[in-house]
Amino acid sequence: MHACTLGLLFFMLLIPAAGGSAAETPGQYELLARATRLVQQDRLDEAVAVFRMVPAPLPGEEAGIFVRSRMEAAKILLSRKDYQASSGLCHEILALLPDNLEARNLLGEIQSAQTPRWLKFIKDLKIFLPTLVKATGMTLVLVLITMLISPLGGLIIALGRISRLQVLSGFFWCYIWIFRGTPLLLQLFFIYYGLPSMGITLDPFPAAVLGLGLNYSAYLAEIMRGAIESIDAGQMEAAKSLGMTYWQSMRRIIIPQTYKRLVPPVGNEFIALIKDTALVSTIAMVELMRAANQIYSATFNVFVLFQAALVYLVLTSIFTVSFRKLEDRLGVYENR
């Protein structure tokens, strides 16, 4: 309020001066210098008024001072959220010099400052969405293939682990020891960057599938072994007493009883898997994480990271709910 009054006073003082003879009219350099001083003193309203007093150049005259004064005033007005006045000044410049880049850029800034955040978010989403959707598809393909491979691998390893043959159980013990004991990232690096030195070169996709499959088989194997060993020993005896072989007992009696017990821990693993697929972005696979990262690097727009996070959340939520339902369905034979 105070600054406003001061500005008005200033104006009134200036008007008679401006109305004086041409010789007494302050030159454009003087006005610019005065306004700059006011800016330094933080008297911005007065500064804008003085900037505006710089006259438009006559045809053939140098336009530099005029453009500069209008730009400075427009920037001050923009910082005060006076979008209309600010863009008015830009248009004054453009009327004189239609190709002035500075004024055009400022107009763009004014426009984007006027659009609400959520509108901007949607606009960005529209731009990034096709890329993200495609990348999500790749993430899902990786998850689904690993979900098919690893239970099979896990079962073979689990049965090997509980085998009475020392060689077999020892071998699979080593397998689990290595694949659970080292980072998945390192395993992926080894498969993609390390194997070529042994003459095995894999494309990113098979390398990613192999890495995830081997790693998750090891984890699922231990879960399955635990589940098989948790089944009452009497079940195996009852099966044997009917004359069943070891494999018949396993296939018909023991393994089916592990299904329900397997769902919660395996569901956990598969949810971890969704997130672990992000690691294959390091071996040149374009999946959700890498796509988001690429868009971010190109635009420095943080929203793309939020969008990627949202997709991961949606996927993990779907898994959580489906595994819960599956567990209930597999438990129909229980009296609860």
**What residues line the site for other proteins (CB under 8 A)?**
232, 234-235, 237-246, 248, 252-253, 256-257, 332-335
**Least distance from other proteins to the Cβ atom of residue 264, Å:** 17
Mapping DSSP onto H, E and C, the string for 86-149 reads HHHHHHHHHHHCCCCHHHHHHHHHHHHHHCCHHHHHHHHHHHHHHHHHHHHHHHHHHHHHHHHH
If the CB atoms of residues 98 and 234 are measured against other proteins, the closer one turns out to be 234
If the CB atoms of residues 84 and 241 are measured against other proteins, the closer one turns out to be 241
**Least distance from other proteins to the Cβ atom of residue 171, Å:** 23
**Least distance from other proteins to the Cβ atom of residue 230, Å:** 13
Mapping DSSP onto H, E and C, the string for 256-313 reads HHHHHHHHHHHHHHHHHHHHHHHHHHHHCCCCHHHHHHHHHHHHCCCHHHHHHHHHHH
Establish how many alpha carbons lie within 13 A of residue 8's alpha carbon, considering only the half-sphere containing its beta carbon.
Answer: 5
**Least distance from other proteins to the Cβ atom of residue 285, Å:** 40
If the CB atoms of residues 37 and 251 are measured against other proteins, the closer one turns out to be 251
If the CB atoms of residues 218 and 239 are measured against other proteins, the closer one turns out to be 239
**Least distance from other proteins to the Cβ atom of residue 158, Å:** 19
| R_g of the chain, CA atoms, integer Å | 36
Q: Which two tokens stand for residue 219?
A: 């984890």
If the CB atoms of residues 261 and 290 are measured against other proteins, the closer one turns out to be 261
User: Dihedral of the CA atoms 260, 261, 263, 267 (nearest 10)?
Assistant: 170
**Least distance from other proteins to the Cβ atom of residue 271, Å:** 26
* Cβ–Cβ < 8 Å for 303, 125: yes
If the CB atoms of residues 257 and 316 are measured against other proteins, the closer one turns out to be 257
